[in-house]
Amino acid sequence: MKKVLVLYYSRTGNTEKMAKKIAEGLANKNIAVDLKKVDEVDVDVLPNYDGYIIGSPNYFGTMAAEVKKFIDESVKYYRKIEGKLVAAFTSTGMIGGGGETVCLDILKAFLIHGCLCLGFTRLGHYGPVAIGKPDERVEKELTEMVNRYAEVLSRI
Ligand SMILES: Cc1cc2nc3c(=O)[nH]c(=O)nc-3n(C[C@H](O)[C@H](O)[C@H](O)COP(=O)(O)O)c2cc1C
């Protein structure tokens, strides 16, 4: 059974709602999922998973410092987590507020780790972007994201 870490930070609950929906969807696909807030785990868990789905609110066009700190600490596993499947998601305050750059920044860090970073054609290309709390549009995107992630994961 494949094992995925859904890791997120959320101060007011919007990103957390997205993370929960993703974790629920993965579990329904027979994938072992750990849903964790970024301060609940340390980087030593990273090698245990086949992939990570990472979410952060948009803070000034990038990820929250808590998520960046985790990623900075992950340097301990540089060259040890190559080939893991990674996707990103975010909640932002407004359209054009920088949501896409949050996802890109997360993906960019894991590209440097040599991970396989997933983009999408049928939803936000760099990952789902909620405006505030996830609405019906974003719920559909999260379902599509999980479908695609699970399908690709089954092939690697
Ligand atoms: C420090 C800070 C910086 C933020 N910067 C931006 C921003 O640059 N653009 C934007 O659209 N929203 C910005 N927001 C709004 C949050 O991204 C938005 O409220 C998000 O839904 C919060 O997610 P959460 O409920 O998971 O904490 C900012 C919020 C905070 C607290």
Which amino acid residue places its CA nearest to atom 30 of ligand 1?
A: 59
Confidence class of residue 103 from pLDDT cuts 50, 70 and 90? very high
What pLDDT sits at residue 54?
98
Q: What is the pLDDT of residues 17-61, one digit of tens each?
A: 999 999 999 999 999 999 999 999 999 999 999 999 999 999 999
Query: How confident is the model at residue 114, as a pLDDT?
Result: 98
The pLDDT value recorded for residue 139 is 98
Atom number, ligand 1, closest to the C-alpha of residue 10: 26
Contact by Cβ (8 Å): 64, 32: no
> What's the CATH code of the domain at 73?
3.40.50.360
Average pLDDT for 97-102: 98
Would you say the pTM of this structure is higher than 0.95? yes
Element (H, E) at 32: strand 32-37
Structural domain boundaries, residue 11: 3-154
Q: What is the total count of domains within the chain?
A: 1
Atom number of ligand 1 nearest to Cα 56: 26
**Bridging pattern class, strands 3-8 and 32-37:** parallel
Residue having the nearest C-alpha atom to atom 8 of ligand 1: 60
Using one digit for the tens of pLDDT, what is the confidence trace for 108-145? 999 999 999 999 999 999 999 999 999 999 999 999 99
